[in-house]
Structure 1
Amino acid sequence: MPAITSPVEDFVRTQTRLAPVPFVPEVRLHLAEEAIELWERTEAEKGEAGLPPPFWAFAWAGGQAVARYVLDHPEAVAGRAVLDLASGSGLVSIAAALRGAGSVTAAEIDDYAVAAIAINAAANGVDVDARCADLLDGDGAPAEVVLAGDVFYERAMAHRVLPFLRRARDRGALVLVGDPGRAYLPRERFTEVASYRVPVVADLEDTAVKTSTVWRLR
């Protein structure tokens, strides 16, 4: 009997193509090629205007940097409970699962992203608990590692994310953030642990390659 899928899952599959991530070829994701057109189709599908961009359909620079770091430094996640905040496509979650994380939770507030995370995790043969939830008023417990790729892209988001990350750090979690030079990252609060030249979708970033840094919250 064929698997029963939801309309959201069907939409994710039909609007994307499964392919290796350029800077993280160990991981395959369902990716889109055209951002604006997909954004418009998503709004039409949901019957809503003014939706956030389809973050779930692209491998953003910050996420690629964190995923690369995790794959190259498995000791950061191996055997530990991991939370991937604002997971998008699930790239970082999948990288953590591939490197032996004890458990992986991917948090998103977009039901299309939650569907994409589940689909992408299955495509890579790993288990990820994808949740549609806003966790930013908490501290990420019980995660021992909190990973976040590209979350400082706007002021309002940064205003909520930083206190969340600080609370996670204060209770003992390792907090790693990937960022390609977004304006609202408070660099003075972080220590650089790695830097990469990451290929990106030029339509999204106005360039084909971005320098993306992995930071640890001090």
Structure 2
Amino acid sequence: MREVHQHLSEIVSAIVPEARIEKYRLPNDTGIDLFLMNEDYPTGRLPYEAAMKLMEQPFYWAFCWASGAVLAQYIMANPELVQGKRVVDFGCGSGVVAIAASKAGASEVVACDIDPLAILATRENARINDVDLVISEDFDQIEGHIDIIIVADVLYDRDNLPWLDRFSARADDVLVADSRVKNFDYPPYKQVAQVDACTLPDLDESLEFRDVRIYRA
């Protein structure tokens, strides 16, 4: 049977030549492994057709974004946030934060993303980290009580800001990690941490996007 990460490699290389999916160990103390884009992936201009395809279905799941890495590390350094609790990871991408919550002792972790490739990647990353996740493709279909919602790297689009109210209304506790929104002022969210970090593989982002802040409601 063909490995899922090989299938994902074929998908990315069909659009971005010489791109592939490789296994990484996160360069922090989480001990989390992820299948991500190769570090030496091509960065030149893509042909128009390939660029359009990539815009239609960006490979968000093929990177461990700075905010996701920071939130994963924060949760594992503060396991009492999730221990014995039902957790929902909204916009799970690679699944890194969901995996961290599971490793930190959550009773159940629901990894939610609308991108079917992100779901595939999350399943595969959960497998190599030996954790069990519940998978959901629709936040509105998640039933039952939620103790805490964890969210990383979803506020890049300002149209997503109304989700902040939905999160705080749906769960007892919310943790949001973000490096895009400046002058963040959305009560009842309050900043609880600030960390300098970069995306893996490194996108050579500007310093402002390496400034990751965690907010809690």
What is the TM-score with the length of structure 1 in the denominator? 0.79
Aligned residues of 1:139 and 1:164 also touching (Cα < 8 A): no
1:10 CA drift (Å): 3.9
Q: Is the 8 A contact 2:102 2:132 kept in 1?
A: yes
* Correspondence list, 1:152-191, <5 A: 152-159=155-162, 161-169=163-171, 173-183=172-182, 185-191=184-190
Amino acid at match of 1:128: L
Secondary structure of 1:125's counterpart equals coil
Corresponding position of 1:146: 149
Of 129, 133, 137, the match for 1:132:
137
Structure 2: give runs of 5+ residues left out of the alignment. 11-19
What is the rounded CA distance, in whole Å, between the counterparts of 2:71 and 2:113 in structure 1? 17
Amino acid corresponding to residue 123 of structure 1 in structure 2 = I
Q: Which residue of 1 aligns with 2:14?
A: none
SS for the counterpart of 1:199 is coil
**1:81-140, Cα deviation, whole Å (9 max, x unpaired):** 11000000000000001011101100000000000000000010100112222x2x5787
| Alignment root-mean-square deviation, CA | 3.1
In 2, Cα distance between equivalents of 1:94 and 1:57: 15
Q: Distance in 1 between matches of 2:9 and 2:110?
A: 22
Unaligned runs of 5+ in 1: none
How many residues were matched structurally? 204
Measure, in 2, the Cα distance between the counterparts of 1:62 and 1:35: 21
Alpha carbons 1:28, 1:120 under 8 Å: kept = yes
User: Map of 1:1-218 to 2, 5 A cutoff?
Assistant: 3=1, 10-14=6-10, 15-23=20-28, 25-32=30-37, 33=39, 50-133=55-138, 135=139, 141-159=144-162, 161-169=163-171, 173-183=172-182, 185-200=184-199, 201-203=201-203, 205-207=205-207, 210-217=210-217
> Which amino acid in the other structure matches residue 167 of structure 2?
L
CA distance 1:211–1:144, shift in 2 (3 Å):
same
Shift of 1:21: 1.7
Report percent identity of matched pairs.
Answer: 27
Return the alpha-carbon distance in structure 2 between the equivalents of residues 141 and 69 of structure 1. 26
Find the residue that maps to 2:215 and give its secondary structure.
strand
The change in CA–CA distance for 1:140 and 1:157 in structure 2 (over 3 A counts) is farther
TM-score normalised by the chain length of structure 2? 0.80
